[in-house]
């Protein structure tokens, strides 16, 4: 039975997240319904990362198995024609049966966007966290250095996080300002539930001058979620890339602004 991999983009504002829920609309539901129509059979779609309610994706990856025979263009056009306006498939291709969108991944990159200006935005309301006070980006950059590498991130995981281990390895973390926007880019081998949003919420305390940069390290080694900052709102968070070994030939996303570019 062929295994098909797909790249997915979505604006997550009106969804309860990736995973199906009985009384709420999910990305998984609308995508499985669209794929099943094209395949003319029920299809289960397996995803690289289960994003939360209100979280977006530019580089989500998923796979599904089907007895249907379609070429990549037919999957792409057919599925997109059955999806709502805020979910789309960016590519489709047949992959080896051993490929797994989740377990074949070696890292994931998330970006979090803050809009830092006096007035709120109608256009960016669902895509960025609006903060009107002054933010010290350099202080956040200094504070974030202790987070690079492998650590116990218990202080930055959700209370209901079901991960067996709090150990994660952050491979890259950068914070940059572009006009009124502040962008956090974080790549890790894996993430705990709410980990990026909790990191951002804590770093914002540093940016506001509420705590010194070394406070982040104190929270990290303290391993106590209650000592960290707030959980940043979901609207600013996007899964921008899932990283795989080159041997799988999974294309990177190509429609998201570069991390150091203008918005």
Whether the domain at 3-104 and the domain at 107-240 fall into the same CATH topology: yes
CB atoms within 10 A of CB 13: 15
pLDDT attached to residue 160: 87
How many secondary structure helices (H) and strands (E) does the chain include? 5, 10
Catalytic residue among 40, 52, 174, 262: 52
Domain regions of the chain by residue span: 3-104, 107-240
Q: In whole angstroms, what is the distance from residue 234 CA to residue 58 CA?
A: 15
pLDDT attached to residue 222: 97
Structurally, at CATH architecture level, domain 107-240 sits in 2-Layer Sandwich (3.30)
Lookup: tokens for 251: 């294309």
3-class secondary-structure state, position 132: coil
pLDDT attached to residue 80: 97
pLDDT attached to residue 235: 94
Q: List the pLDDT tens digit at each of the 263 positions of the chain.
A: 899 999 999 999 999 999 999 899 999 999 999 999 999 999 999 999 999 999 999 999 999 999 999 999 999 999 999 999 999 999 999 999 999 999 999 999 999 999 999 999 999 999 999 999 999 999 999 999 999 999 999 999 998 898 999 999 999 999 999 999 999 999 999 999 999 999 999 999 999 999 999 999 999 999 999 999 999 999 999 999 999 999 999 998 864 444 444 44
Angle at 169 between CA 164 and CA 174, to 5 degrees: 135
Q: Which residues contact 194 (CB under 8 A, 6 or more apart)?
A: 52, 156, 157, 158, 161, 231
The reported pTM is 0.93
Q: Is 100 a catalytic residue?
A: no
pLDDT attached to residue 93: 94
Q: In whole angstroms, what is the distance from residue 125 CA to residue 110 CA?
A: 19
pLDDT attached to residue 75: 96
Is 3-104 in CATH node 1.20.120.450?
no
pLDDT attached to residue 88: 97
Q: Give me the helices (H) in 99-191, please.
A: 137-144
């Amino acid at each position: 039975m062929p295994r098909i991999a797909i790249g997915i983009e979505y604006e997550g504002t009106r969804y309860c997240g990736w995973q199906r829920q009985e009384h709420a609309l999910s990305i998984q539901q609308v995508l499985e319904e669209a794929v099943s129509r094209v395949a003319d059979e029920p299809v289960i779609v397996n995803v690289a990362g289960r994003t939360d309610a209100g979280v977006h994706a530019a580089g989500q990856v998923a796979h599904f198995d089907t007895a249907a025979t379609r070429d990549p263009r037919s999957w792409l056009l057919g599925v997109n024609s059955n999806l709502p306006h805020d979910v789309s498939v960016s590519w489709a291709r047949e992959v080896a049966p051993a490929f797994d969108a989740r377990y074949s991944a070696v890292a994931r990159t998330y970006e979090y966007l803050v809009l830092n200006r006096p007035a709120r935005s109608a256009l960016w309301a669902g895509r960025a966290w609006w903060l009107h006070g002054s933010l010290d980006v350099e202080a956040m950059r200094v504070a974030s250095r202790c987070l690079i590498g492998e650590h116990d991130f218990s202080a930055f995981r959700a209370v209901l996080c079901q991960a067996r281990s709090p150990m994660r390895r952050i491979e890259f973390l950068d914070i940059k300002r572009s006009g009124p926007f502040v962008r956090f880019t974080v790549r890790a081998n894996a993430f705990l539930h709410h980990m990026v949003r909790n990191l951002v919420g804590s770093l914002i305390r540093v940016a506001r001058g509420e705590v010194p940069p070394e406070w982040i390290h104190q929270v990290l080694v303290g391993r106590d979620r209650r000592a960290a900052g707030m959980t940043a709102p979901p609207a600013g968070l996007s899964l921008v890339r899932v990283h795989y070994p080159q041997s799988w030939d999974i294309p990177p996303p190509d429609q998201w602004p570069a991390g150091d570019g203008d918005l």
